[in-house]
Amino acid sequence: MERIYARTETLQQDKVSGFCPGCMHGTVIKLIGEVMEELEIVDKTVSVEGVGCCGLLMDYTDYDTTTAPHGRACAVATGLKRANPETIVYTYQGDGDLAAIGLGETMSAANRGENFTVIFVNNGIYGMTGGQLAPTTLVGMKAATAPKGRDPKEHGYPMHMCEILGQLKAPVYLERCSCNTPQNVIKTKKAIKKAFRNQIDGKGFSMVEIVTSCPTNWGMDPLGALDFLEEKMLVEFPLGVYRDRTKEV
Amino acid sequence: MARVLMKGCEAIAEAAVRAGCRFFAGYPITPQNEIPEYLSRRLPEVGGIFVQGESEIASINMVYGAGQTGTRSLTSSSSTGVSLYSEGVSFCASARIPIVYVNVARGGPGIGAIQPSQQDYLQAAKASGNGGFQMLVFAPSTVQEAADMTYRAFDCADRDRNPVLILADGVIGTIMEPVELPPMKSEEEVAANKKSKRSWACVGHKLGREHRSWIEPGSFDTTNLQQRNEEAAKMYETWTPEWEAYQVDDAEVVLTGYGISARIAKAVVDELRLEGKKAGLIRPITVNPFPYEAYEHIDYSCCKGILDVEMAIPALMIHDVKAGVKERASIDTCLCSGGNIMRKKAVMDAAGKILER
Ligand SMILES: Cc1ncc(C[n+]2csc(CCOP(=O)(O)OP(=O)(O)O)c2C)c(N)n1
Ligand code: SF4
Ligand SMILES: [Mg+2]
């Protein structure tokens, strides 16, 4: 019989996912692993975990991994990549990590055009710490620290990182994807592959933002969270390519 | 080896390059700008990397990342900037990443003053970040020592897989002195040093728990974290404190201080000795571990008192001096702060008062 699908070997084979039901972190780290295998970079790749549910990645992956202080993944990746350019470096960061506490590191690394890959998992909330307001929380959406929901007068508006980084000249590739449907999962994988390929080719800074759900902290069941993602999150965060200079550089 | 005339900051930077440092990230702050400026020219000459970080927080994390590749890595800052290193240094200690950093200390607290000071003693020696980790902290009192200590610091950091701090000050950083630079490590030596860290370096390995590199600055497993802290504590116990004892044996007044204060105090000891007065000096060379034993070499039957000389108000090192002296002699202080440099006359007068007892 022909084998047409197998679990990526980049994940520890004896581990069962501890992510909450309906969480998309598992899908994303699987896609990254598949891309690493297809590009034959498994033994020279390093993941830089942000702090948050992203930081659980190390428990499942079977390749080199390091943990940055909360928000500092892009600085740690800068040091790793510059000091050892042969290594393929990617950061794995949540919205609190990348867009709040680590906004400066993200912007500056993007502005320097650092040659690494950023995988940004945007679930609109602080997952790990129990559902506090994130820079990406939707207007009106309730959070543990915004019990009446996000109020623009008090909290401002959700931040759109692809659009913000799109103001800079240096980034090579910025795309926003999601994992809410099989088609979108396939598109996400393509984007991740392109972002890694750019790094292999020495092209510079690439970021794939992936809009995901956090059923636990959104207070929804997994299917309800999928609906919310499609009806609300993807309206605020439109999918698409925000920068592609891959062919020019 | 010929001696060259160099500023302290430049000597530190050149010594780092000679020790095999090939990565520097830092953010501008007076009075240490000569370190990044020098390295921005010098590192590319030897195939090294210089990055001006967007902040001290970014810089220490770049160094944390570069250190993980096995590359000898350095950052430097001053006082208020060093405060921003806290979390990153703590991560280096927890994940056992060897790095070296320099504090060319200035006045404090807060933004303080750009002039020299020793207000950062407690931060440097006791708690440079959260979590109770310890570091070797060297305190140079000459440009020569600053260069030698920096050179050695990289070996210590690698040996222990732990951060090492050079606690300098604005005088040592900016003064020009003749210095004999340590020998330049060859490119082969630098490469071999990096290669020796390959097994744990986070640069890509074969899949599998037995091969992969896991850089873990923490653990969800409390038993594991306790074990790691126990191992680190054992490593701290291998350190030997270092100090200079100068004319202490028959001293009726013993001056004590580190770094630039000790250098000024030493000049006072020489002057008092010329006048036939029995003065001595104890100078901690490592402020962590602190050389408590040094104070056992004082002859307390003839010692009229100890003079703690610090460019800090309140006195900070004095707590360690007290622990060493164990109430066998009284301890007076000669202090200045705010960016003022210790005056020799003030030290002379304070020592004189003790001798009159
Ligand atoms: C310096 C610091 N501040 C705060 C925290 C606590 N903390 C851990 S995870 C987290 C939020 C993470 O949110 P996000 O980046 O969105 O990741 P998610 O869990 O949603 O994937 C916070 C605030 C920390 N670990 N370090
Ligand atoms: S808290 Fe949210 S982000 Fe974290 S594992 Fe659960 S669903 Fe996923
Ligand atoms: Mg989040």
All structural domains of chain B with their residue ranges = 4-195, 244-355
Give the pLDDT band of residue A218 (cuts 50, 70, 90): very high
B86 touches chain A (CB under 8 A): no
- Separation of alpha carbons B26 and B33, rounded Å: 9
| Confidence at residue A5, expressed as pLDDT on a 0 to 100 scale | 85
pLDDT, tens digit, 9 for 90 and up, residues A116-141: 999 999 999 999 999 999 999 999 99
Indicate the average pLDDT of chain B.
Answer: 97
pLDDT, tens digit, 9 for 90 and up, residues B251-305: 999 999 999 999 999 999 999 999 999 999 999 999 999 999 999 999 999 999 9
Kindly tell me if the per-residue pLDDT of B1 is higher than 80.
no
| Confidence at residue B198, expressed as pLDDT on a 0 to 100 scale | 96
| Confidence at residue A58, expressed as pLDDT on a 0 to 100 scale | 87
**Ligand lying nearest the CA atom of residue B129:** 1
Please tell me which of the candidates B22, B61, B206 has its beta carbon nearest to residue A68: B61
For ligand 2, is residue A127 a contact (CB within 6 Å)? yes
Q: Average of pLDDT values for A191-216?
A: 98
| Confidence at residue A4, expressed as pLDDT on a 0 to 100 scale | 83
For ligand 2, is residue A47 a contact (CB within 6 Å)? no
Q: Could you tell me which CATH number the domain at A25-244 has?
A: 3.40.50.970
Phi first, then psi: give them for residue B205, nearest 5 degrees.
-145, 175
Distance (angstroms) between ligand 3 centre and the Cα of A129 equals 9
Choices 3.40.50.720, 3.40.50.920, 3.20.170.30, 3.90.230.10: CATH for B244-355: 3.40.50.920
| Confidence at residue B87, expressed as pLDDT on a 0 to 100 scale | 98
Helix ranges (H only) for B29-137 are 34-45, 56-67, 80-83, 86-95, 121-125
| Confidence at residue B151, expressed as pLDDT on a 0 to 100 scale | 98
Class of domain B4-195: alpha beta
Give the pLDDT band of residue A237 (cuts 50, 70, 90): very high
Does the beta-carbon distance from A58 to B216 stay under 8 Å? yes
| Confidence at residue B124, expressed as pLDDT on a 0 to 100 scale | 98
| Confidence at residue B220, expressed as pLDDT on a 0 to 100 scale | 86
Give the pLDDT band of residue B141 (cuts 50, 70, 90): very high
- Separation of alpha carbons A216 and A126, rounded Å: 11
A96, A124 Cβ separation under 8 angstroms:
no
Please tell me which of the candidates B71, B204, B218 has its beta carbon nearest to residue A45: B204
Kindly tell me if the per-residue pLDDT of B71 is higher than 80.
yes
Give the residue whose CA is nearest to atom 2 of ligand 2. A214
DSSP 8-state assignment for residue B13 = H
Q: How far is CA B96 from the centre of its chain?
A: 18
Angle between helices B56-67 and A73-83 (to 10 degrees): 50
Q: What is the ipTM of this complex?
A: 0.97
Q: Which of A195, A209, A232 has its CA nearest to residue A24? A: A209
Structural element, H or E, at residue B4? strand B3-7
Kindly tell me if the per-residue pLDDT of B2 is higher than 90.
no
Phi first, then psi: give them for residue B307, nearest 5 degrees.
-120, 110
Least trusted range by pLDDT, from A118-122, A152-156, B151-155, B211-215: B211-215
Least trusted range by pLDDT, from A111-120, A123-132, B216-225: B216-225
Kindly tell me if the per-residue pLDDT of A216 is higher than 80.
yes
Query: CA of A162: how far to CAs of A78, A214, B248, B326, in Å?
Result: 20, 20, 67, 63
| Confidence at residue A3, expressed as pLDDT on a 0 to 100 scale | 81
| Confidence at residue A17, expressed as pLDDT on a 0 to 100 scale | 87
pTM of the model: 0.98
| Confidence at residue B260, expressed as pLDDT on a 0 to 100 scale | 98
Does the beta-carbon distance from A108 to B54 stay under 8 Å? yes
- Separation of alpha carbons A96 and A125, rounded Å: 7
Does the beta-carbon distance from A75 to B61 stay under 8 Å? yes
| Confidence at residue B94, expressed as pLDDT on a 0 to 100 scale | 98
| Confidence at residue A6, expressed as pLDDT on a 0 to 100 scale | 85
Give the pLDDT band of residue A146 (cuts 50, 70, 90): very high
Ligand 1 site residues (CB inside 6 A) read: A 50-54, 70, 94-97, 121, 123, 125-129, 134
> Per-domain residue ranges for chain A?
25-244
Angle between helices B8-18 and B143-160 (to 10 degrees): 40
Kindly tell me if the per-residue pLDDT of B173 is higher than 80.
yes
pLDDT, tens digit, 9 for 90 and up, residues B312-322: 999 999 999 99
